[in-house]
Amino acid sequence: MGLDEVLLLKRETLSIIKEAKTRYSQARVKEILSDYRLAVESREASIIGRKEVFMGKAKFGIFGDGKEIAQIAMAKVFRNGDFRAGYYRDQTFMFAIGELTVQQYFAQLYAHTDVDADPASAGRQMNGHYATRMLDENGKLKNLTDLKNSSGDISPTAGQMPRLLGLAYASKLFRHNPQLQSLTHLSRNGNEIAFGTIGNASTSEGMFLEAINAAGVLQVPMLTSIWDDGYGISVPQEYHTTKSSISKALAGLQRTETEKGFEIMTVKGWDYTALIEAYEKAERICREEHVPVLLHVEELTQPQGHSTSGSHERYKSKERLAWEVEYDCNRKMREWIINEVMVLPEEVDSIEKEAKLSAKRARDLAWKAFMSDITMEQIFVAQTIHEAASDIPEKGELEEVRTELDRTINPTRLDTMKAAKKAIVLLRNYRDLPSRLRLIEWVRESDKLNYDRYNSHLYSQSDASALNVPHVDPVYSEDASIVDGREVLQTCFDAALQRDPRVLAFGEDVGKIGDVNQGFAGLQQKHGELRVTDTGIRETTIIGQGIGLAMRGLRPIAEIQYLDYFIYALATLSDDLATLRYRTKSGQFAPLIIRTRGHRLEGVWHAGSPMGMILHSLRGIYVLVPRNMTQAAGFYNTMLQSDDPALIIECLNGYRLKEKLPDNIGEFTVPLGLPEVLRQGEDFTLVTYGSMCRIAMEAARALDAVGISCEVIDVQTLLPFDIHHTIVDSVRKTSRVAFADEDVPGGATSFMMQEVLEVQNAYQYLDSKPITITGKPHRPAYASDGDYFSKPNVEEIFEQIYAVMHEADPQKYPSLY
Ligand SMILES: Cc1ncc(C[n+]2csc(CCOP(=O)(O)OP(=O)(O)O)c2C)c(N)n1
Ligand SMILES: [Mg+2]
């Protein structure tokens, strides 16, 4: 090439560069490079994270690689006051909104139990589960409109969707209910978007489809991004989705000129500029118009496969793997930066180098911080054991324990605890040895710390805990009216709606007709459609709606029509609501009240009392089982003052029974965990709750007639259970006990028995075997006879208790048959 030709080429190149430079301002180029730097750092964090797991420094890893650029684009339209409900791939988004540092990301991978180190879960959740801290140290909601909020992730696929619906629905209420406008720490005129993220395969879940349909019906600002990488673990798209495309499958939701619906959009996950445009458009529609948007982000990849368990080479073809390399979003962005933005490759290289170094530094800092306490404890215990060994003749075994501890690579707390406990066993005969006493003190101190680290905050520990709500007795004037039970509730709900604009109720048939049993009769007309509202038939998202609203500072009462249909909502209750406070170590709460009705009525699906199932799946939610509507009203009043969630199960057969209406219907409270003795007795203690109370009382009267004095105790709340351990006092007196309910054998009666005999030590006062009186192991049959022969009845209770008395004193109580 001659000199002239070289000069010509150079001039041409320069002019292209010049043209490109004018296309992107300096500020824009800076932003692009900063975005790219973040994408590279996030990718590096994924790569290092995987290595940390393989080196044994963490148990398991799941990473957001292959989804970086789309998340950076999404973060650009995520404003203060907005909410995210997403899943484990969202690390880049969390970095981009400034709510996660790379160091915190690694701290979670290691399970660092310090809240500052891992603000999302304080080491309680596996990596990739993000959450911001919405509560202050006193357990009060912060000013959420000043914050970028991420609701706490859960692992079950699509489990975030019901909650997402509620987070979005809150914006609608804040915008349209003028009574809420003064709550400026919670919302600015409902301008907040709820951003959802979900994997392509998880859109097959019922929860996704239920939530999407409900969002279209409700017209809420819900912007759902689907990260489509073509797989759900090893299973390719054609197994998951009709037409292999969720945007195609859901096309009928698209709004038109005349019909409301969704805005459905698709975009390639490696196309930086298209992504930014898509999110800008989606944001506008969602924020301004309150129209839900579904953004299908296609052609994403999984550079390292699904997670650290297993490699994707096992199930992806060579062609697919090659395509994933070529269409890697970070690689595509690099090419675009060099080819279109005209940044020199060397400059891009140096950005990459610096970003990677930064991720490594963050890893080092996180590991050092994580290990510092653990190492100190390890050294202390090892030294103390060594000292003990030098003081006693049989030092060999102790030294073995110490050397084993010393040699542990990447020691954890349990290694040190195990060593200390082994040493304490070996030192059991050296009572006053100072090193033994120091080890014991260390174990006791560690137990306290570990309780806080691993077991605390299942329920609220704040001043507003349900257990701290002041007790106010109901007051009755002399001429107090006697009304149907349902009217007691209706008056209570009316007072609650009047008292607090944040209170609202919704569920199937709750709005127009005021629920199927008339507890809200007339209250929609009085308080408006936004306060007392009908919903579709969609139990799991009714609960999600409540969770999201409660997280955003409102006081929802979500109704599940019958206890039998509660099972549809159980996953959301158990996975999301029950774990929320625990999994964020009080970083978040959702003081949702779930109202339902159950126990005795008719037939297989209208009489259920699956209390064991509920008790065992809902720890973290209080479970209240009022025997009548006055007790129920008192529980509503208590819970509305507290920051805990609760399930209140009303008695299906109690709405038309007469009760006295308290004068202070809106103020009186029923405390949690205080059983009530309904009838004093000397010979036998019968412990029960709910609809069974009336049957138990009748049985007790029948027993009285044959000389058996039966004390009847209504536990009132199953969770918490008898917090002051009063039932044992009754057993001490009677020395005989039965636990009765309508659940299956071994259900909630066994729970009560364990509480009283084991926790309260009532076993030592027993003169006869303790018994449970329960329903049959099947669901109850229909009609009065079906009920009688499926559930415990007066005669059965009588006979079972009589049989115990007969065994104790056959002469006094001759056999009946
Ligand atoms: C309810 C439930 N079922 C199964 C799993 C196990 N699981 C975890 S991730 C996953 C695949 C999810 O695929 P996708 O939604 O496409 O998200 P991706 O991991 O591909 O981003 C499965 C089956 C789970 N976590 N939850
Ligand atoms: Mg996928």
Distance between CA atoms of 641 and 466, rounded to whole angstroms? 8
CA-nearest residue for atom 11, ligand 1, is: 232
**Residue (of 687, 662, 661) closest to 792 by Cα position:** 687
Q: Are 532 and 522 spatial neighbours (Cβ–Cβ below 8 Å)?
A: no
Cβ of 574 closer than 6 Å to ligand 1, yes or no, is no
Exposure string of 170-198, with b = 16+ CB inside 10 Å and e = fewer, is bbbbbbebeebeebeebbbebbbbbbbbb
pLDDT at residue 409 in the model:
85
Which atom of ligand 1 is found nearest the CA of 89? 21
> 3-class SS at 806?
helix
Ligand nearest to the Cα of 201, by number: 1
Q: How far is the CA of 306 from the centre of ligand 1 (A)?
A: 9
Phi-psi region of 253 (alpha: psi -120 to 50; beta: other; left: phi over 0): alpha
DSSP letter for 763, please: G
Which atom of ligand 1 is found nearest the CA of 227? 21
What would the two tokens of residue 154 be?
A: 């859960």
Cβ of 231 closer than 6 Å to ligand 1, yes or no, is yes
Q: What are the Cα distances from residue 33, in Å, to 8, 272, 278, 338, 482?
A: 30, 12, 20, 11, 74
68, 125, 157: which to mutate for ligand 1, most atoms within 8 A of CB?
157
What would the two tokens of residue 784 be?
A: 């009065």
Q: What is the pLDDT of residues 558-594, one digit of tens each?
A: 999 999 999 999 999 999 999 999 999 999 999 999 9
Q: Are 590 and 555 spatial neighbours (Cβ–Cβ below 8 Å)?
A: no
Cβ of 269 closer than 6 Å to ligand 1, yes or no, is no
Distance between CA atoms of 496 and 514, rounded to whole angstroms? 15
**Residue 789, C-beta contacts closer than 8 angstroms, at least 6 positions apart:** 776, 781
> 3-class SS at 23?
helix
Q: Which string of DSSP letters, residue by residue, matches 81-125?
A: T-EEE--TT-HHHHHHTTS--HHHHHHHHHT---TTTSTTTTT-S
**Residue (of 220, 212, 202, 204) closest to 153 by Cα position:** 202
Cβ of 157 closer than 6 Å to ligand 1, yes or no, is yes
Q: How far is the CA of 60 from the centre of ligand 2 (A)?
A: 18
Distance between CA atoms of 363 and 756, rounded to whole angstroms? 49
Q: How far is the CA of 598 from the centre of ligand 2 (A)?
A: 40
pLDDT at residue 567 in the model:
96
Cβ of 161 closer than 6 Å to ligand 1, yes or no, is no
Q: How far is the CA of 233 from the centre of ligand 1 (A)?
A: 7
Cβ of 237 closer than 6 Å to ligand 1, yes or no, is no
pLDDT at residue 410 in the model:
86
Cβ of 227 closer than 6 Å to ligand 1, yes or no, is yes
Phi-psi region of 722 (alpha: psi -120 to 50; beta: other; left: phi over 0): left
Q: How far is the CA of 201 from the centre of ligand 1 (A)?
A: 7
pLDDT at residue 134 in the model:
98
Which atom of ligand 1 is found nearest the CA of 67? 21
CA 536, distance to chain mean position in Å, is 23
Q: Burial of 500 by CB count in 10 Å (0-12 exposed, 13-18 middle, 19+ buried)?
A: middle
Ligand nearest to the Cα of 62, by number: 1
Pick the catalytic residue from 240, 471, 606, 725.
Answer: 606
**Residue 271, C-beta contacts closer than 8 angstroms, at least 6 positions apart:** 69, 332
DSSP letter for 227, please: E
Q: Are 635 and 670 spatial neighbours (Cβ–Cβ below 8 Å)?
A: yes
Show the DSSP H helices in 184-290 as ranges. Answer: 206-218, 246-249, 272-289
Cβ of 202 closer than 6 Å to ligand 1, yes or no, is yes
Which atom of ligand 1 is found nearest the CA of 198? 15
> 3-class SS at 601?
coil
> 3-class SS at 268?
strand
Distance between CA atoms of 783 and 632, rounded to whole angstroms? 26
CA-nearest residue for atom 8, ligand 1, is: 157
Distance between CA atoms of 277 and 269, rounded to whole angstroms? 12
Phi, psi values for residue 546, rounded to 5°: -65, -40
pLDDT at residue 310 in the model:
81
Q: Are 217 and 189 spatial neighbours (Cβ–Cβ below 8 Å)?
A: no
pLDDT at residue 19 in the model:
56
Distance between CA atoms of 75 and 598, rounded to whole angstroms? 45
pLDDT at residue 5 in the model:
64
DSSP letter for 379, please: H
Q: Are 84 and 78 spatial neighbours (Cβ–Cβ below 8 Å)?
A: yes
Q: Is 616 a catalytic residue?
A: no
Distance between CA atoms of 72 and 333, rounded to whole angstroms? 12
> 3-class SS at 687?
strand
Ligand nearest to the Cα of 232, by number: 1
Weakly modelled stretches of the chain, pLDDT under 70: 1-22
Q: How far is the CA of 153 from the centre of ligand 2 (A)?
A: 17
Q: How far is the CA of 330 from the centre of ligand 1 (A)?
A: 23
Question: 54: how many CB neighbours lie within 10 A of its CB?
Answer: 10
> 3-class SS at 79?
coil
What would the two tokens of residue 150 be?
A: 């991420």
Distance between CA atoms of 560 and 507, rounded to whole angstroms? 6
The verdict on whether omega for the bond into residue 720 sits within 30 degrees of 0, i.e. cis, is yes
Q: Are 659 and 488 spatial neighbours (Cβ–Cβ below 8 Å)?
A: yes
Distance between CA atoms of 255 and 586, rounded to whole angstroms? 40
Q: How far is the CA of 155 from the centre of ligand 1 (A)?
A: 8
DSSP letter for 791, please: S
Cβ of 674 closer than 6 Å to ligand 1, yes or no, is no
Cβ of 229 closer than 6 Å to ligand 1, yes or no, is yes
Q: Which helix (H) or strand (E) holds 794?
A: helix 794-808
Q: What are the Cα distances from residue 119, in Å, to 115, 124, 153, 300, 585?
A: 5, 10, 13, 29, 9
pLDDT at residue 608 in the model:
83
Which atom of ligand 1 is found nearest the CA of 155? 25
Cβ of 240 closer than 6 Å to ligand 1, yes or no, is no
Distance between CA atoms of 378 and 400, rounded to whole angstroms? 15
Cβ of 87 closer than 6 Å to ligand 1, yes or no, is no
> 3-class SS at 222?
strand
Distance between CA atoms of 93 and 78, rounded to whole angstroms? 10
228, 233, 307: which to mutate for ligand 1, most atoms within 8 A of CB?
233
**Residue 452, C-beta contacts closer than 8 angstroms, at least 6 positions apart:** none
